[in-house]
Amino acid sequence: MTSGEVFGEAWEALRSERAAARARLGELHRQLEEVEGRLRDLDAVITGFRRLSLAPGVEERSQQEAALEDASNEQDDEGDAREPGAPSSTSTPKKRRIRSTDLVATLVNQATEPMTRDQIVNAFEVHIGFPKSWANPRNAVGNALNRAAKAGRVQTLPGDTFAPREWRGDPPEGQADE
């Protein structure tokens, strides 16, 4: 074998190994983006739970919710504490999808009694807040409420009133005949 042939084989082996490493790196980047997206979604729900735990008319915070809050205060790769929902130092900022149906269902299910649509919209604004990207927050919360009711995540009562999924009481006074 000539030195040119040895060089040619080594060259091809290196190029092949480099292409495989580049493909693996691309796959790892895709997996990282997927996991970071899931983490942002979980942080948004945890933040919603935290805000709900401070709402009047909402039952006391459970140990499970406290554990969720503790989990949201993890550290990034450099060991710096970061706010829930904040991207890690290695990620690029992305537009975050608001899980409004989850947040509305959580809000209603944490309540101790049924709430009207207006009360739910007001509670959402006070305890969770309307994202700046929502052109019509009232409509967005109303649509999320309708999706939650359709999915069976909250109960629909007469008089445009909604109750926690497990609630078994009577409708609020003055709404039983509507």
Q: Which domain holds residue 68?
A: 1-93
Identify whether residues 37 and 52 lie together within a single domain. yes
**21 located within any domain:** yes
Q: Residue 85, Cβ neighbours under 10 Å: how many? A: 16
- Confidence check: pLDDT of 95 > 80: no
Cβ within 8 Å of residue 106, ≥6 positions away:
45, 48, 49, 52
Task: Express each pLDDT in 9-27 by its tens digit.
Answer: 888 999 999 999 999 999 9
Q: Do the domain assignments include residue 177?
A: no
Output the CA–CA distances (angstroms, integers) from residue 48 to 7, 45, 54, 115, in the order listed. 61, 5, 10, 18
What pLDDT sits at residue 72?
Answer: 41
pTM above 0.85, yes or no: no
Would 178 be classed as within a structural domain? no
Mean pLDDT of the chain: 75
Which is nearest to 70 in space by CA: 56, 53, 87, 90? 53
- Per residue in 120-160, pLDDT (tens digit) is 999 888 888 888 888 999 999 999 999 999 999 999 999 88
Report the number of distinct structural domains present in the chain.
2
74: left (phi over 0), alpha (psi -120 to 50) or beta: beta
Same domain, 102 and 161: yes
Q: Is residue 135 part of a domain?
A: yes
Q: Based on the fold, state whether residues 76 and 89 are members of the same structural domain.
A: yes
- Regarding whether 103 and 49 lie in a shared domain, the answer is no
Indicate whether 38 and 79 sit together in one domain: yes
Region 101-106 average pLDDT? 88
Q: How confident is the model at residue 46, as a pLDDT?
A: 76
pLDDT of residue 162: 93
CATH number at residue 160: 1.10.10.10
Residue 88 sits in the same domain as residue 115: no
Same domain? 13 vs 75: yes
Burial of 82 from C-beta contacts in 10 A (0-12 / 13-18 / 19+): middle
Specify whether 128 is located in the same domain as 88. no
